[in-house]
Chains A and B, each alone.
Chain A
Amino acid sequence: MFAYAVKRLLAIIPVMGVVALFVFSLLYIAPGDPAAVIAGDIATEDDIARIRAKLGLDQPYMVRFGGWLWALAHGDLGVSIFTNLPVAQLIGQRLEPTLALTLCTLFVTVALAVPIGVIAAWRVGTWIDRVVMGFSVLGFSVPVFVLAYLLMMLFSVRLEWLPVQGYVSITEGFWPFLRHMILPSVALGTVYMALIARITRASMLEVLSQDYIRTAQAKGLASDQVLYGHALKNAAVPIVTVIGIGIALLISGVVVTETVFAIPGIGRLTVDAILRRDYPIIQAVTLLFSGAYVLVNLAVDLSYTLLDPRIRY
């Protein structure tokens, strides 16, 4: 397995190279000019041309790409065209809120969705199953931003229990941190929860029909031991796969959630950068997301060997 992991890690390098080329080329041909955004409405063409030259945006494609790759190879992500701050610093400022939101969402969704899915499978065909499946359909159907506004209206504006917006670092206190995370995590996690609950139910249903489950029940094992000791463990591989795939859903969902709840995370940084054509930020964030996605996939693949001893690399 070690050799496999090393091989997969080495494969990340060409993957990231292709991503880098793709991202840079797309931005190069995309319409929009940061110099025009900077110069503002009153600027003349000459003003824009001078700003473009100052920023090096008038250089040929290969020169710009080569310069960017060279800097990247030296760990330099560049400087934001607008704020004049290092991109690494901007990402560093935004990483904590996004990681916190992603982890809280993962925690809430996995901790709730797996038991819900197990219950639905255990009580298949009953009202409990129908309620879970109904929730699942609803969870898929309600867009994140709609749910976010509804939660905000109820818990923040009407009941005044939780804050409307913003982010408080965990270093400023656990409760303030948690209060700011609850609504965004629930809003973002609902779709994800519906997905995992559904997959858990389907996977459990398949396992629960196996002979060894009947044998376990026949020898008098308690139901929870059967469910969690035997069935869930065997049903875990597809569930973990979906959790892994779901990271991509979370990444895209984070953009909307961070905007609605005004959380200064990577998602909002990306959207803002795209709107004003801040190329160094867009390039760095896309690389970061791609790298994270590749690593999550690798972690999921490696976890299979822990969950199912039959799987060997």
Chain B
Amino acid sequence: MGIAMRSSLRLLALGAFSATVAVSALAPREAAAQKTIKFIPEADLRSLDPIWTTAYITRNHGYMVYDTLFATDAKFQIQPQMVDKHEVSADKLTYTFTLRDGLKFHDAQPVRSADCIASIQRWAKRDVLGQKLGDLTESWTAVNDKTFRLKLKQPFAYVLEALGKPSSNVPFIMPERLAKTDAFTQVSDPTGSGPFKMVKEQWVPGSKVVYVKNTDYVPRKEAPSWAAGGKVVKVDRVEWLYIPDSATAAAAINSGEVDWWQQMPPDLIPVLSKNKDVKIENTDPLGSTGMIRFNHLQPPFNNPKLRQALLHVVNQQDYAIAIAGDPKNGKACASFFTCGTPLANQAGSAVLSGKRDLEKAKALIKESGYKGEKIVVLDATDQPIVHPQALLTTDLLKKLGLNVELQAGDWGTLITRRSSKEPVEKGGWSIFHTWWVGPDLATPALNAPLRGSADKAWFGWPNDPELEKLRDAWFAAPDLAAQKKAAEQIQLRAWVTVPYIPTAMFIIPTAYRSNLAGILVSPMNLMWNVEKK
């Protein structure tokens, strides 16, 4: 070997020095604090205000730092949470609530009636059920610091359901100073009275959120059940580590760098299931539901016959497998109300669950007078739940001989374009796909895409006064049996006017290291009761 070669190798060795030393040192894995849970959430926490946005990640953050007056349990019963006791007047127009003892915000201030009233009033400006409650409210009055009163203009059977609403927007209680903020302006102070405190100084948006146990929190005595019951925190600290790349997240849980991955893509189940230290489970009892949403304003889907035609060819099993990958994680659910919830029913469902009938669909298309108008299907290729649905629907439309164009973009573009009411030639759309978590479609009060309120309805703007009348009838139903009947009537009507088509129910499993225990089964990701051994 020549001198030059030796010199070059010396340089090479120098260049590799740091890496060699680092690898050869093989420093032992940093000992993770025993009482810290490292958790990969479903998305990046961007906003801290669960009233300002409906994003589920912000809702989950809300459950960490805030508490609620009431909460829904696993039997769909409304249970008191911050409230100790409540009374309803004989005329059902006055509700009196008394708070539990020992409730304190993270800034050590006591939770007062004024905080609760301001919080509920702010929530009622944004939430669909809150708006209904707001419309029927005559007044909110603080009797004293622990007792407050709601007076209604007319009886409303869903007051407690509204105050115990489990999913976005959840009526979380904030300090009055924050709850006085305009409902359309974001609150960025995470002071709540919930079981965890956010360490805002350590928040790195896009990467990390840190929570510590709220040692002042007084949990209820009852066992936890969804968001109801005792919120007993069994760890000192929780770190949400946003890892956008699923392969990296899988490697991180495989190697034990993180403890819990909230939502893992189904295609990674075979990889992780080989590791005996990782458990893969379904902790969401209701799952989510995909949907085909039509633009009811523009041709050709302003014609109900054409929307009905699709009902005869959509195969929910195909959509379930396309979304969930594994048939075990997806299933058909031919109901406009989340299967597994009290109002789910099979009224008229044969049109979607029966034998698929291409000829019947073609006959309906002929009846509709379809003249070859272009159909634009919006696709969001960055959304693994939206993209396969868009491909399947486009294929179905082609099989039916319709003039269809799949327009691919990202989710940010899709949710902007879907607000356009213009014809497709001017940037409008005909169909888009999305999905909703189980609680959001469980009742006519919550199911936004089932509204027929035209311009005030959700994107797609179905105009169906009859559907709205049936919804009002549901609100007026005095008991569960009557509510179920009313829900059936709504569903029968919906099969005729087809505001949307439910494509499939699916579950996204969670993965966690076997040293975790006590993860709650709930449609929301809740972090109390979880132990790290």
Give the interface of A toward B (CB within 8 A): 31-33, 36-48, 50-51, 54, 80, 82-85, 90, 93-94, 107-108, 110-112, 114-116, 118-119, 122-123, 149, 152-153, 155-157, 160-166, 175-176, 178-179, 182, 186, 222-224, 226-228, 259-262, 264, 268-269, 272, 275-277
Contact = CB atoms under 8 A, between A and B. Distances in A.
A262 B207 contact: yes
B186 interface: yes
A122 B456 contact: no
B8 interface: yes
Contacts of B7: 223-224, 227-228
Interface in B46-97: 46-48, 52-55
Interface stretch (B136-144, B298-306, B413-421): B413-421
B3 interface: yes
Interface of B: 2-9, 11-12, 14-16, 18-19, 22-23, 25-27, 29-30, 44, 46-48, 52-55, 126, 128, 168-169, 182, 184-186, 188, 204-208, 241-245, 247-248, 251-252, 254-255, 257, 382, 409-413, 415-417, 419, 434, 436, 440, 448, 455-459
A32 B410 CA distance: 9
A144 B412 CA distance: 26
Contacts of A44: 456-458
A153 B4 contact: no
B23 A182 contact: yes
Which of B22, B44, B52, B185 has the most A CB atoms < 10 Å from its CB? B22
Given A38-B53, A42-B168, A224-B3, A161 B255 contact: no
Contacts of A261: 248
A161 B46 contact: no
Contacts of A162: 22-23
Contact of B4 (A39, A46, A93, A122): A122
A68 B3 CA distance: 60
A222 B3 contact: yes
A223 B10 CA distance: 14
Given A112-B15, A260-B245, A47 B4 contact: no
A42 B46 contact: no
B448 A264 contact: no
A83 B18 CA distance: 38
A29 to B, nearest CB: 13
Contacts of A157: 251, 254-255
Which of A186, A260, A261 has the most B CB atoms < 10 Å from its CB? A260
A238 B409 CA distance: 41
A164 B419 contact: no
B416 A31 contact: yes
